[in-house]
Each structure stands twice: as C-alpha cells, then as structure tokens.
Amino acid sequence: MSRPVAIVTGAGSGIGLAVASHLITKNYRVVIADLNPSTGTEAASSLGPDATFIQCDVSSYTAQARLFKQAYEWGGNRLDFFHANAGVDDRQLLYDGPEKEELDEEGLVKPLNTKSMQVNLEAVIQGLWLFKYYVRRSKEAGGGKGKFVATSSAAGLYFMTQNPQYTASKYGIVGFVRAAGPILVKEGITVNAICPAFIPTNLCPPQILALWPKEHITPLSTAMKAIDAFLGDDTMTGETVELSQENIYFRKCVDWANDSQRWVGEESQGIWDLGYANVPEKSGYGT
Ligand SMILES: NC(=O)c1ccc[n+]([C@@H]2O[C@H](COP(=O)([O-])OP(=O)(O)OC[C@H]3O[C@@H](n4cnc5c(N)ncnc54)[C@H](O)[C@@H]3O)[C@@H](O)[C@H]2O)c1
C-alpha cells in the first residue's frame, strides 16, 4: 500500500516547514508549496527524499489547482492531508493618511490592497474545494480520508488593530471551518484550524522580535500538539484550536444570546436544509 501524501502551503519557512517536517516523522510524503523558490527548494532538500518542492502562488486559483494536480500525481494518485498555511500580513494600512489616498483616471478612489484576504482566506476556501476533489479520488491508491487544516491566528479570535484586513481573513477561516467541518466529516474529511499566538518566524518584523518578551513566545512544538490531535481523531472536525505558550485550547463559538438564538443555531437546521434543497440554482438565490 502507498504512503499518505500531504501538501503544506507556505512550507518554505516557519510553521509550515515545521509541520511538513513533523508529517514526515508520521510516515507522510510531503509537498512543500511556497511562493518563494529559494526557501522552498532549500526546505524540501533539508527534509530529504520524502519531500518535494512545488512553487505556487496560492492567491492564484489556477496556480493552486496546478499544485494539487501535480501533488496528487507525485503521490501516486493519492492525497490525504492539506495544510492551508501560507499567509501574509497587510500590504497597505487602512488608516493611512490623506497623502496616501489616490484616485484612478475616472476619479474613483483606488481600492485598498487586500492581498492578505486573497492569500489567507480566498486561497484557503479554494484549497478545501480542491482538496475534497482529490481525496475523493484517492481510494484506489489506499487513501480516501482527508485531514484539512488551516492556519488562522489569535487575531482570528481577538484582533490586531495594525492589521485589520489580516484580522478579517483570520476570522473568516474560523467561520469557514466551523461551517464546513461538521458536514465534510460525514465523508471522512475533517476540517480544523489552528490559531497561533506569537511564534517567532520570518513573518514577524525583526524589530518586533527584538522587543518581544520571551515569556510571551509560543514555541513551534505547540502547533504540533494540535496537528497530532487532528491526526489522532477522525471525528475531530470544525475545531479552532488556539495555541499559546505550551498549551492548546479548543475554542468554542460565542455563547447563545438567548434561547431563541440557541434554537436557531441548534434546532432550525432541518428548515434551512429544506429551504436550500428546493433552490434549483443556488447562485441565483436571493437576487
Ligand atoms: N508566526 C506567528 O506568530 C503567527 C501567528 C498567527 C498566525 N500565523 C500564521 O501562520 C502562517 C505561517 O506563517 P509563519 O509565521 O510561519 O511565517 P513565515 O513567513 O515563516 O511563513 C509564511 C510562508 O508563506 C509563504 N507565502 C506567502 N505568500 C504566499 C503565497 N501567495 N503563496 C504561497 N506561499 C506564500 C512565504 O513565502 C513563507 O514561506 C501564516 O498564515 C500566518 O498568518 C503566524
């Protein structure tokens, strides 16, 4: 029987590289996917023959679709694990002063840079879409069950005023895994997220690293505790796991405001299912 196969995005450094390395110790063959060809190649060669590098900008749907096809073929028509981990912080500050505001030729305000939404959220959603396709087609090669993990952030549970678009993208991941997790597990795909606190990586500007108190650092090993929890339980799904210092915390949805909201959340699902089942073209619903 063939060995399980994983893709980890943003695995050229930091959390992604550590997860890729950890998966190899768990018998996986791993595709290191990263935008940066030099760190990506170096990371893959440091991990030996069980890893390969595929260059990919996950913010391009076509590039990510190519990544999945190549990885599946490299894995012997098999894919078992996908960690949507690549991430960037905000590339333009929402609050920049009037001197930074620009108009286009038509006199319209130029859009805010939302690259962090494309990389951190849109690519994660498309990643699950692609992952599901290939997991369904992995049975003959010995697979057919899937583990999907996305890297959110503590900013996806709290917030970072310095990075509002980033914060929105990381909150988006939390909602996404909570919504999709309980459904996809029915076909053997678990969907979970990690929400790291401060882990010193290349993402962090060096001037911040220099100032950061050591007692508020979360080690990379804490991320592996969450990965192990996901690997070890085929029913664990829809979870958002906060990583802080040495500990992992399974974070729940906010409390119901009142009993009516609890009813809407817990007991109205049949009505929603019926309503959506009767809509022939979902895309036109509500328009
Ligand atoms: N380090 C932390 O404290 C921390 C905290 C919370 C969340 N996170 C999240 O963890 C994830 C990993 O970050 P990290 O801390 O390991 O940083 P990192 O900079 O070491 O790694 C991020 C990797 O993503 C790659 N990348 C960036 N844009 C990409 C794209 N469009 N396509 C493919 N690859 C791309 C980079 O080249 C880099 O190798 C990110 O999603 C980040 O938001 C990190």
The DSSP string of 56-90 is --TTSHHHHHHHHHHHHHHTTS---EEEE------
* Parts of the chain with a pLDDT under 50: 285-287
Tell me 35's DSSP state. S
Ligand 1 neighbour 202 (Cβ under 6 A): yes
Whole-Å CA distances, 195 to 30, 43, 78: 22, 23, 28
Task: Answer yes or no: CATH 2.40.170.20 is held by domain 5-254.
Answer: no
Q: Which atom of ligand 1 is nearest to the CA of 155?
A: 6
Q: What is the pLDDT of residue 287?
A: 47
Ligand 1 neighbour 10 (Cβ under 6 A): yes
What are the sequence ranges of the domains in the chain? 5-254
Residue linked to tokens 């286009």: 104
Ligand 1 neighbour 222 (Cβ under 6 A): no
Angle ∠(164,169,175) on CA atoms, nearest 5? 125
Bridge-based pairing state of the strands 247-251 and 240-244: antiparallel
Q: What is the pLDDT of residue 279?
A: 62
Q: What is the pLDDT of residue 34?
A: 98
Residues 76-130 pLDDT 10s: 999 999 999 999 999 999 999 999 999 999 999 999 999 999 999 999 999 999 9
Helix (H) or strand (E) holding 153: none
Structure tokens at 127: 């990643």
Angle ∠(31,37,42) on CA atoms, nearest 5? 70
Ligand 1 neighbour 134 (Cβ under 6 A): no
Q: What is the pLDDT of residue 124?
A: 99
Give yes or no for a contact between 146 and 132, defined as CB atoms under 8 angstroms apart: yes
Distance CA 46, CA 111 (A): 41
Q: How far is the CA of 126 from the centre of ligand 1 (A)?
A: 17
Q: What is the pLDDT of residue 281?
A: 59
